[in-house]
Amino acid sequence: MSEDIGLPISHRQRLWLYGLGGLVLLFLIAPSIIIVIMSFSDSTLLQFPPQQWSLRWYQTYFQSLEWRDATIVSVKVAAMTVLVATPLGTAAAYAINRGTLRFNGTINALLTASLIVPVILIGIGTFFLYAHIGLNNTLTGLVIAHTVQALPLVVLTVLSGLRSYDMNQERVARSLGAGRVAAFWQVTMPQIRFSIVSGALFAFITSFDEVVVSLFISGGETTTLTRRMFNALRDQIDPTIAAISTCLIVLSVVLLSVAQIFGRRH
Amino acid sequence: MRAQPALMQETARADQSLNAHALRADARRESLRLLALLAPSLFLVFAIIIVPIGWLFWLSLFDEAGALSAANYARFFEQASYIKTFVTTFKVAFIVTGACVLLGYPLAYMLSQLPRRAASICLIFVILPFWTSVLVRTYAWLVILQRKGLINSWLIDLGIISQPLSLANNLSGVVIGMTHILLPFLVLPLYASMKTIDTDCLRAGMNLGAGPAATFRQIFFPLSLPGLASGVVIVFVLCLGFFVTPALMGGGKVIMWAMRMEQTTSLYSNWGAGAALGVVLLVVTLALLGLFQWLLGARATGVWSSR
Amino acid sequence: MSIAPSALPISMRRIEKRFGSVPVLRDLNLDVEAGEFLTLLGPSGSGKTTLLMVLAGFVRANAGSIRVGDDEIITTPPHKRNIGMVFQTYALFPHMNVFHNIAFPLKQRGVAATETAERVEKALDLVKLQGLGERRVDQLSGGQRQRVALARAIVFEPRIVLMDEPLSALDKGLREHMQIELRALHRRLGMTTVYVTHDQREAITMSDRIAVMNGGRIEQLDKPETLYATPQTRFVAGFIGESNFIPVECRNGSVWYEDRRIHTAAPTPASGQHLMVVRPEKLRLLAANAEQPNGVNVLDATLSDIIYQGDSFVCYAVLRDGRQLTLRDYCRSDVLARMPAPGQPVSLGLDAQDTILVAAE
């Protein structure tokens, strides 16, 4: 297996590199692992490793009306964001992939703008706009703002799926008598559906984990989980957040695994 | 008058070429169809990003009395607190970017040299944090670094220190947290570019008499520079506008650009000043990305596709 | 299953296509007869694939007219053109099995299930893939995929079948076998077929007529044998078969190479600079100093090298002006007996009826 690298440097000579790389990997992953372990601690103090185990922080999380409401808001917003961003992003990626429009480059840059524009500016700008049209503290407002942030991920994921797909198949379907829509649904769509699902999953995580814009435009009954967490962290370090964080980490792991599995089948 | 002959020529040509008109109409219909697919997305981006930013830019041109002025920009050079914010921001950005390079390069290099299976397992450790909420990761570092946090309690238990070190709620906390969060943004494009380096080039280098160290220095490293540069630019740009970690881990002492914007608008409701900060931030960001793209011709958003 | 009654002629008039400002098809006119197997042959970039795409409706021309029978189809969307198409990559649908791939065009046309099954079965028979309907596409060999693509393109009895280098992905032996099979299938079904290839041997083997394309235009449209025997331009002479070119001059209706008069069977142009096309197999080694009958052009040269190839040999000879000529002949003992050695002077003979002139560019 290692022969395909095949440089005449032995793994032993590289030991220092593996050591250093391993340490950096540890640095990347350790915080998440520590939080997961601490979430099962019985203590209000931050001890590691915990002396006593319990599920009390999970109980606090699930029994608190505030946390539960915020979670429901976040799930709702993320689900709706997926429902909006996925078809829009897929349609846009399809059009970009055709590459026949004159301003393809500009369109591409516009659609991926939210990856480049500082998110604090999007937050303040959206808040300012929503203040004038009454969308602050509404689900609709959150879904629209999160959709804009999720769009580039859907577009890029679907686009990479379309690029590895042989467009001649859609052509041949057309020549065999399928109209535009039929050719897309019967031939193209089944073959890029893994990319679309991956894009949808990324859209979900993006919306669910979004903090900065939500800080500005969510509040009251539409307070998102991340906004509530942010405020809680500003006050004090509450171990309940470890339980919530563990749930978020698990969510990320699950969604990423699903995306990976889909990706592999593709 | 001069347009007349050209027009006639055009009509004559149109008459000569069969069905040119119908074909042009057909092409237009096709373009419209594609635009219809793009329209909803473009509209949303336009409404949520372009319009508000344009609006804020407009606001930034007026002072509090509503008169056209450059006051909102002038104060960046005049007020010490603004200057301090910029200095802090760039200081953090440089330190974090440097730390990311120091940690990320060896990691990416190791990943690129590992056998495929091992590399893809290690890569999970990079991608998972990438997709974990920034809040969760910041919280984790708070737990680890604070006064009564893990590090301090371990060090005290081991008797290495008697007084807790102040690791969180200051610059070091911000730097550590941000380095952790931004490291994948450097590693992923760098790893992707290292994977494309042809091993035969390295073999040739060794064949021509360069030792492993010389091969790395003279062949591998130069070839990995574009990937490194793209990672560095992305990390630096993201640092400039970073909000969550400094807000939570800075302890109110480390005021970075984005926090300043938040305070100016939310706390003091000074939209003009906040907008001006945003405009300058955007201009600096775009300038850096533009410079990078001009120098290397690579797309700055590449990191997202290199997952 | 016979498709012949519905085979239709195609008439393309003044087709123009530009990509940006780069012209790829220039004022192109082409008539394909009903039931004909016509090949578009040309180097890459000659516009042959673009022309096929325009015909199928995947590329929109800037101007022009395409008539199939009596219908103008230049603005008809591809799915209403009723044209079968086989792509170079086959473009089989990987998420459908062989049966559903072939049934796809029938499904689009609302053909009933029982009839669909019947027709797919017939099409599978026709391409010799009986019983493979349930196979997944990725379980097929390259040749089988090719056949599925073909079956799919003819199962709905299209008026026209287009093929874009359909055999180029196959290895040599299979490719030659498929050429013969495709030809036989065309004879049997009689559908109007437009075939694109850059392989002249393939074109000559398969086609009723060949249109040689170059620079977005059709250089010559003829039967394969005519195309080879009487190329009309330097490009065609160079592209089809091997050729040496010798510059000649026409004066007062006679043709001159240096100070020697050249005999031709065909009428010669009155004046101007021309090129004589010399095919290697038309040249003969003449016995030294032998009197030559009229009607044979003799070229004096020096033999520079001989390469034996078993059944045949190739001679490289250099004319007095330094131009190199190639001669190919079979290893008959009479020829071998008087084979000169390299460095010796030789006389090369070319019959008047094999002497072709094309305009110098």
Domains of chain C and any CATH numbers: 4-232 (3.40.50.300), 242-359 (2.40.50.140)
Of A166, A175, A182, the CB nearest to C78: A175
Query: Under 8 Å CB-to-CB from C290, ≥6 apart: which residues?
Result: none
pLDDT one-digit tens code per residue, B147-173: 888 888 888 888 888 888 888 888 999
Q: Tell whether pTM > 0.90.
A: no
SS3 C270: coil
pLDDT of residue A4: 44
Q: Which two tokens stand for residue A58?
A: 């999970």
pLDDT of residue B7: 46
> What pLDDT sits at residue C213?
95
pLDDT of residue B303: 46
Q: Do C152 and A182 make contact, defined as CB atoms within 8 angstroms?
A: no
Hey, of B28, B127, B133, which one would you mutate to test binding to chain A, going by the most A CBs within 10 A of its CB?
B133
* pLDDT at C357 exceeding the cut of 90: no
At residue B304 the predicted structure's pLDDT band, cuts being 50, 70 and 90, is very low
The shortest C-alpha distance from C285 to chain A (Å) reads: 53
For A106, A204, B105, the CA distances from C237, given in Å and listed in that order, are 48, 64, 60
Residue A101 touches chain C, beta carbons under 8 Å: no
- Can you spell out the DSSP letters for C44-104? TTSSHHHHHHHHHTSS--SEEEEEETTEE-TTS-GGGS-EEEE-TT----TTSBHHHHHHH
Among candidates B283, A154, A95, which has minimal Cα distance to A146? A154
All structural domains of chain A, each given as residue ranges with its CATH number in brackets, are 2-56 (no CATH), 64-265 (1.10.3720.10)
Which among A169, A175, A182 is the nearest to C56, CB-wise?
Answer: A175
Q: Which domains are present in chain B?
A: 80-257+299-305 (1.10.3720.10)
Pairwise pLDDT comparison (C136 vs C3), residue with the higher score = C136
Distance, in Å, from the CA atom of A238 to the CA atom of A41, rounded to the nearest integer, reads 12
Q: How confident is the model at residue C4 (pLDDT cuts 50, 70, 90)?
A: very low
Lowest mean pLDDT among A97-106, B176-185, B238-247, C35-44: A97-106
How many CB contacts within 8 angstroms connect chain A with chain B? 275
Q: Are the C-beta atoms of A91 and B23 separated by less than 8 Å? A: no
- Can you tell me the distance from the alpha carbon of A20 to that of B106, in angstroms, rounded to the nearest whole number? 7
Rounded CA separation A35/B268 (Å): 36
Pairing of strands C356-359, C160-164: unpaired
Chains A–C, number of C-beta pairs less than 8 Å apart: 65
* Contact across the interface for A175 and C77, Cβ inside 8 Å: no
Nearest to C157 by CA among C184, C189, C187: C189
Report how far residue C224's alpha carbon sits from residue C220's, in angstroms, rounded to the nearest whole number: 11
Over residues C143-156, the pLDDT tens digits come to 899 999 999 999 99
Nearest CA in chain C to B21: C63
Burial group, residue C266, by CB count within 10 angstroms (0-12, 13-18, 19+): exposed
Residue carrying the six token digits 């052509």: A171
**A183-193 exposure pattern, b = at least 16 Cβ within 10 A, e = fewer:** bbebbbeebbb
Which is nearest to B38 in space by CA: A197, A104, A182? A104
CA dist., res. A194 & res. A186, Å (int):
15
Burial B173-189 (b: 16+ CB within 10 A, else e): bbbbbbbbbbbbbbbbb
Q: Which residues in chain B have Cβ-Cβ distances shorter than 8 Å to A234?
A: 247-248
- A221: which DSSP letter? G
- Burial of C129 from C-beta contacts in 10 A (0-12 / 13-18 / 19+): buried
For residue A137, the tally of other CB atoms under 10 A from its CB is 15
CA proximity to B173, closest of B101, B105, B104, B95: B95
- In this complex, which of C13, C62, C72 lies closest to B20 when CB atoms are compared? C62
Q: What is the pLDDT of residues C254-264, one digit of tens each?
A: 888 888 888 88
**Whether A178 contacts C104, CB under 8 Å:** yes
- Whether residue C90 contacts residue C145, with contact meaning beta carbons closer than 8 Å, is answered with yes
Residue A77 has pLDDT above 70, yes or no: yes
